[in-house]
Structures are given as structure tokens and as C-alpha cells.
Amino acid sequence: MKCDRRDFLKFTGVGLAGLTLSQLGVRFSPVEAYAAGLKIDGAKEVVTVCPFCSVSCHIIAYVKNGKLVSTEGDPDYPINEGSLCAKGAAMLTMTTNEHRLHQPLYRAPYSDKWETKSWDWVLERIAQRVKETRDKDFMEKNAKGQRVNRLESSFLLGTSHADNEECSLMHQAMRSLGIVHMDHQARI
């Protein structure tokens, strides 16, 4: 008989209502001793949705003392049945990796070192550079005199670490600048 995780929990729940498994001769002590050493021991299970693409796989997030300690694919969800692609499988490290940057770093032209900058400084700088490029290269008409209103010297490469809504906003922002060349890392 096929027995998935949910069936097993149901079965053991029903069984325990009438007769405990230990009365049936099942010994839990080795399992309990092993489980006590796991990082998810005593953690709360929270089912969440992977934000990286529209497949929307379900992930079980294990939370202990208010901190995320582990993630895994949800075996009960019929779409991914417990599996995750490389992006979803990296969910834990994406949120907790100690190497993750917390402030923007900037390397000036010809410099050999990175400087820590504020977000305000970086966003201002990006906006200036985008405007300079657009003012210089925006094309209203093509060689045949047809109106095109496009900017061909800038390019957007999307990231799989943006969710669907962020991708939509980025796409609209790029179109508003006249950018026509776009691709996405997930497609490559």
C-alpha cells in the first residue's frame, strides 16, 4: 500500500487513539535519541511558498526560537512532492548565509579596493548613470524615419532571486525607459 507522509501521520494518529505503538512493540528510543541531535528537534514547521518562480513549490520552514534553522521541500504538496530545484534548495542559505552582504560595496573606476556606501548614495549614482545613458542614446526614430522610441545601449538581465511581482515591476520600469533588450538568468 502506498503511504505518504500525511497518510502516515493520519495512520499513526488513529492508531494512537486506540492503541499506542509502543504497546504494539515499536521502540521509539533510538529514533528519539537520533531526533534530539537534529537541528530541527523542537522546531515549529511553517509551510511557505518558494518566491523564485511561478511553479510556487511549497517549502517547509523550520523555525526555532524565532530563527529559521532549516528548509526542505514539502512532500505533501502535489506540485513539487518534496522536490526543489537548486534555487528553492538554496532558500536557507539565501536567508542566513554569513557571507551575504548587508551594505552596498562600490569600486571606483581604476580603483583596486571596494568602499562601503549607503543605499542612498548608490541609488543616486545608479539613477545619474541611467539618465546620462538614456539622454545620450535614446532613439526616437530609426534609419527609415519610423518612430521607435527605444534605448538600445542598456540591457536588463533579470535574476531568479527576484519574485514574479518584482520581475513585473522591473520589466515595466525598463519599458518606460525605452529598453528593449531583456533576458532572464533562469532562461539561460
Of positions 48, 56, 70, 133, contacts ligand SF4 by CB under 6 A: 56
Q: Are 81 and 58 in contact (CB under 8 A)?
A: no
Closer to ligand SF4 by Cβ: residue 54 or 65: 54
DSSP state letter for 43: P
> Torsion angle of alpha carbons 87, 90, 94, 95, nearest 10°?
120
156: β partners: 182
Binding of ligand SF4 by 53 (CB under 6 A): yes
Binding of ligand SF4 by 87 (CB under 6 A): yes
CA distance 151 to 178: 5
Binding of ligand SF4 by 55 (CB under 6 A): yes
Closer to ligand SF4 by Cβ: residue 80 or 154: 80
Residue 160: count of CB within 10 angstroms of its CB: 19
Identify which range of 63-71, 77-85, 105-113, 125-133 contacts ligand SF4 by CB under 6 A.
77-85
Q: Please report, as ranges, the residues that interact with ligand SF4 according to CB under 6 A.
A: 50, 52-53, 55-57, 80, 84-85, 87-88
